[in-house]
């Protein structure tokens, strides 16, 4: 991922809810990440999503914080409110509580903004809170790498 970002001279920003900064930590664990990692937003509360990323509060009320619409808005906000050209956003239910029939524990929405192209997807992960969060980080990084390769 670092090579692709550096080759394009792109910077990465993260917008994280359920992972609480774990994606940012995974990125900055790598030596030399200051060349391509711009910033991370930890927007755990709905208010933080609105204040820091510009996610419309009405959008959150209408669709819920764990939704495709909010994940996409978070990804867009991370680019708009930074110097980055690429972002990954995650919002989900890590558990053990907070799930519902429509959004059970393990439901995570991902938003990606790669060079102005916003995409999203939903995954459901099994396991306890730690397992859901770890799987979310792993998927976010792997999928972002795929999207960067596609952007070529």
How does strand 107-114 pair with strand 86-92? antiparallel
How far is it, in rounded angstroms, from Cα 80 to Cα 2? 21
Nearest to 20 by CA among 108, 144, 143: 108
pTM: 0.97
Residues, the chain: 152
Question: How do residues 9-44 score in pLDDT, each as one tens digit?
Answer: 999 999 999 999 999 999 999 999 999 999 999 999
CA 151, CA 82: separation in Å to the nearest integer? 20
pLDDT at residue number 152: 75
Token readout for 58 is: 């009405």
SS3 108: strand
Domains in the chain: ranges and CATH: 2-151 (3.90.950.20)
């Amino acid at each position: 991922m670092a090579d692709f970002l550096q080759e394009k001279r792109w910077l990465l920003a993260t917008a994280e809810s359920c992972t609480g900064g774990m994606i940012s930590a995974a990125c900055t664990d790598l030596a030399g990440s200051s060349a391509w990692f711009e910033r991370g937003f930890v927007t755990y509360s709905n208010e933080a999503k609105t204040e820091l990323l510009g996610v419309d509060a009405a959008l959150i009320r209408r669709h819920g914080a764990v939704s495709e619409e909010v994940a996409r808005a978070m990804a867009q906000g991370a680019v708009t409110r930074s110097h980055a050209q690429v972002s990954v956003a995650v919002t989900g239910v890590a558990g053990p509580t907070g799930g519902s029939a429509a959004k059970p524990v393990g439901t995570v929405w991902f938003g990606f903004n790669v060079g102005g192209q916003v995409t999203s997807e939903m995954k459901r992960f099994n396991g306890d809170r730690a397992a859901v969060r770890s799987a979310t980080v792993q998927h976010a990084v792997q999928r972002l790498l795929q999207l960067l390769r596609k952007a070529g």
